[in-house]
Structure 1
Amino acid sequence: MAPTTRAMRARAAASADRLPPDALFHTLVRLPARDLCRLRAVCRSWRALTSDPLFVRAHAAAHRGPLLVAKFRDDPTGVYVLDLAGNVLKRITGAADAGLHVLCARLDLACLATDWNRCRVLNPATGAVQILPQGPAPEHRHRVNLATPYTFFALGLVAATGEYKVFRMFNRLEQVFEVLTVSRSSNTGQSQSCWRAMPKPSFFIQAFTGVLVDAVIYFLISRSYLHVSHTDARARPDYIMSFDLEREEWRRGLTGPVGGEIIASGEGVLSDNYRLDLAELKGSLVLVYKRLQQLTFVMELWFLNDFENGLWEKEYTIQIQHQLVVTAANTFLNYLKTVLVLDDGRLVIYDARAGHLVIGDPRSSYFAPVMETARPLDSLGIYTGSLLSLQ
């Protein structure tokens, strides 16, 4: 228990140095971060220990509870670090404005961007912000559609080099692709890095389906290829293209597990009664197959086990029966995003239209709000940094 009176804190400080360093380290590393932040006031030696990068890394490895980096709709300039109970652990000012949204990532940095080509990278621990240049790579300077661009961004970490890279796609009359390496400098301000032109994939892709897993960004191909008259056998609704951030090149295509079922259903591949999404869960690429069956909303989560052999495994099937499924079909099909799988197997799902997180057990199909707050979220990502670094 943490010292609660001045006398108790004095005794703890006096006895702190009598504990063997290893014993103190292993004792404190077991405590929750919020308690440790209070215990830093006990004495200088405890503060030095719990602020040491080695201790911070060990504590993060021992306490893997997920944190969120998010924006609320009622606060256009604030970026928050939250726990799953909705407790605000840190509010960062000056990093955002009304047009910037937190991109869905799983890193110790956050990426905030707009559809109209503004992007910045935020370090939640320090508050440092890098504003990325809006101008295109030299090879793309004279492209017509870049004057009024619709853009997609993704931030990834290349584990082999420790570099953070941002992927950008211009998505107007044609699709144009670029990559920028984020400066390792912690200073706030305009990034000095330049965008580099990247090749195109063999298909047009759906930008809003982009998801990053281990420095590879995956996309479903554009629905424009899905007309029955198209002769390419790869043109299935679950066909996936991927870009390798480390190699800075497109990989070969990947066939998903449900395209044959959709084609055989008789409703047509352009039917409004199903949607496909991509997600990153438990370190794997996941194909999310959502569909309406009369008054039942069905969501299947297919995990990619082997890219080279195209092997998928269905790990979750969720069924919700309710009249709201019919009256609010677009909410269920378009706006529900699976963001986390907890250690006990429960799922955390983000309802982007309502701005709420729900958590539930797929075995019972029972879902309830995660956060005990009425403040709707604007956008969110997963923060993998340490709470100790935030203080």
Structure 2
Amino acid sequence: MHLRSLQRVEISAGRMPPLKPKAPKGSKSNKWRQSQMGMYINVALFIRPQSYNWDLAIIVKTRHSAMASAVQTERQQTSDDGLLPTDVLCDILLRLPAKPLCRLRAVCRSWRSLLSDSWFATAHEARQQPLVAMYKWKPRDLVDKSQDIQILDTSGHLVRQMRVENCVLDNSSSEVWTNLDLLCVEGRDKRLRVLDPATGTVSLLPNVVIVNRGPYECAFYSTTYAVGRDGSTGETKVLAIARELAYRVSTFCSVLTLGGAGGWRETGYPPSTAVHASSRITAFVKGVLYFMVFKEIAAYDFDKEKWRPDLLHLPLPIERQRFLAELSDTLVASYHRSDTSIDLWFLIDSYKVIWSKQYTINMPPYQASSSMYCGGTTFLPLWSLDDGRIAFFVSQSYDGKTVQFMRVYDPTTHDYIDGDVMATNYTFYAVYKGTLLRSSLDKKLSMYLATV
């Protein structure tokens, strides 16, 4: 069966467990709920051939308990859980986003077992695209000390929402850069919190220690953080970059292995005192963190836990916006030629410092704009898709307002697809490359105190 030509597939999924919904007025709740146990579900999967996106519609049909029981008995005599072979069913489910898959676990026990299996989560993670994390901007003097974080897909649809207590992100908060299967924020107490979107847990990391300088004190240091992964061991590590606030500026760094027995340890000095982590000037490629410093780039090797001594020259002027990104395991520098045009430079050889400008991309205003003039534009490349398209986070100002959205751009055909407009009071925070079907952080974070 060719799945792309499939227009509609209906899968008989058996009876649903009781959902305990609110009973209608004038009915006895217990009897009404018992009648709902006779429901069975047909799951209809629809494909739009234009974009190969899947829409999921769950159609609930009420039947008498006897009829549902007969359907269940008939299903138990078959070898498959539905009208489709198991391998075809798995292939279909792997194409769905994580949010509807989590809901489909309630269809029946066999589906729950399938969708909770580790191999299914691994296969789903390999097929699905990364997600975008946004945080809600709040004034620091608000009585509410919690922070809302939204996780969205490329269409701008909400996939998961988390709330972190004792944490408010604003312009004075320390930035924590991450591009892996976790999220990090700094709380009001200046302690790092690791967020696991798959489970919703928030874990406290040990207090940062600037080695040979004593405990971290926010009054004397300005600290940013970046999360990376050791290419040889697969360990997840957090790099703290502390800049001393004094007339004689110095920068000190410490590193921590998540789940490791040791604490913060010294990791040398960066080649520039201006190094800091930010979502727009930091990128992680093959075990190395890159930081843009004016017209140069500093590199930190997670495998060796050392800074590379030499800065990489960046062949771009500094008059306009420049960002760093990782596309297809390659370091990429983007340069804004204008409010509607950007260049993408790829680092072909990091040792010989050879750059190649591979794309000049024209970015028209948002499709809903009534004006071709943009007062201010940000095009931040985030990741590349398997078919060569590139996902951008876009912020554009036009007609007296600012819109934020995701844009998937094809550099060969110059076609693009815009997602829904995001909330204006939310700010781009990080890229999440994990799966919401299972947690990959349980063992790493089990030794830390969980706050949620």
Q: State the TM-score, normalizing by the size of structure 1.
A: 0.74
Aligned to 1:177: 253
Shift of 1:338: 2.2
What does residue 5 of structure 1 align with? 61
Counterpart among 134, 147, 159 of residue 89 in structure 1: 159
Describe the superposition over 1:163-193 as per-residue Cα deviations: whole angstroms up to 9, x where unpaired. 2110010123211111111227xxxxxxx86
Out of 327, 347, 351, the position equivalent to 1:281 is 327
Counterpart Cα distance in 1 of 2:179 and 2:207: 24
Paired residues, what number? 347
Larger gyration radius, structure 1 or structure 2: 2
Cα distance, 1:95 vs. partner?
Answer: 5.4
1:245 paired to 2:302? yes
- Determine the C-alpha separation between the residues in 1 that align with 2:332 and 2:157: 29
**Partner residue of 1:200 out of 269, 278, 287:** 269
What is the match of residue 290 of structure 1?
336
For 1:18, the equivalent position in structure 2 comes to: 78
Higher share of residues assigned helix: 1
Structure 1 alignment gaps of length 5 or more:
185-191, 224-236, 263-270
1:195-344 paired onto structure 2 within 5 Å: 195-207=264-276, 208=278, 209-221=281-293, 223=294, 237=295, 239-253=296-310, 255-256=312-313, 258-259=315-316, 262=317, 273-292=319-338, 298-319=341-362, 328=375, 331-332=376-377, 336-342=379-385, 343=387
Shift of 1:254: 5.3
Distance 2:168 2:234 in 1: 31
Tell whether 2:201 aligns with 1:128.
Answer: yes
How many angstroms does 1:133 deviate by?
3.3
Q: Residue 53 of structure 2 corresponds to which residue in structure 1?
A: none
Shift of 1:369: 5.2
CA apart distance, 1:200: 1.1
Q: Deviations over 1:203-259 (max 9, x none)?
A: 3344242322233111233x4xxxxxxxxxxxxx2x322001121011243544525
Q: Is the 8 A contact 1:348 1:359 kept in 2?
A: yes
The structure 2 residue matched to 1:356, chosen from 401, 404, 415, is 404
Structure 2 length-normalised TM:
0.65
**Which string of whole-angstrom CA distances, capped at 9 and with x for unpartnered residues, describes residues 247-299 of structure 1?**
1011243544525xx4xxxxxxxx6x33432222233211122345xxx6542
Q: Give, in angstroms, the shift of residue 116 of structure 1.
A: 9.3
Pick aligned residue for 2:389 from 333, 340, 345? 345
- Which sits farther off after the overlay, 33-42 or 239-248? 33-42
The 8 Å contact of residues 356 and 376 in structure 1, kept in 2 or not, is answered as no
**1:189 matched residue in structure 2:** none
Change (3 A) 1:282 1:168: same
In the superposition, relative to structure 1, how do residues 20 and 158 fare at CA in structure 2: closer, same or farther (>3 Å)?
farther
Structure 1 counterpart of 2:22: none
Per the TM alignment, residue 115 of structure 1 is displaced from its structure 2 partner at its CA by 11
Check conservation: 1:211, 1:280, Cα contact below 8 A: yes
Distance 1:289 1:134 in 2: 37
- Flag the 1:142–1:98 CA change in 2: closer, same or farther, 3 A: closer
2:118 matches 1:53: yes
Evaluate the alpha carbon distance shift between residue 104 and residue 201 of structure 1 in structure 2; reply closer, same or farther with a 3 A threshold.
closer
With over 3 angstroms needed to count, the CA separation of the structure-2 counterparts of 1:102 and 1:24, relative to structure 1, is: farther
2:433 aligned partner:
384
Residue by residue over 1:57-97, the C-alpha shift from the partner in whole angstroms, topping out at 9 and shown as x without a partner, is: 12222x32332233233695222222222322222233562
CA distance in 2, matches of 1:6, 1:326: 54
Q: Structure 1 34/153 Cα, relative in aligned 2: closer, same or farther at 3 Å?
A: closer
1:155 is aligned to 2:215: no
Q: Hey, what does 1:370 align to over in structure 2?
A: 419
Secondary structure, in 3 states, of the residue corresponding to 1:30?
helix
1:72 aligns to 2:136 (yes or no): yes
Q: Distance in 1 between matches of 2:189 and 2:100?
A: 42
1:369–1:26 distance in 2 versus 1, CA, 3 Å = closer
- C-alpha separation between the residues in 2 aligned to 1:216 and 1:136? 23
Gap change, CA 1:274 and 1:13, over 3 Å in 2:
farther
Determine which structure has greater relative contact order: mean sequence separation of CA pairs < 8 Å that are 6+ residues apart, divided by chain length. 1
Deviation of 1:346 (Å):
4.2
Code of the aligned partner of 1:129:
V
Q: Structure 2: state its 5+ residue gaps.
A: 1-9, 12-41, 43-59, 139-143, 366-370, 440-452
User: Measured at CA, do residues 320 and 56 of structure 1 come closer, stay the same or move farther in structure 2, by a change above 3 Å?
Assistant: closer
**Aligned letter for 1:88?**
L
Q: Distance in 1 between matches of 2:236 and 2:299?
A: 18
CA RMSD of aligned residues (A): 3.8
**TM-aligned CA distance change 1:202 to 1:348, over 3 Å:** closer
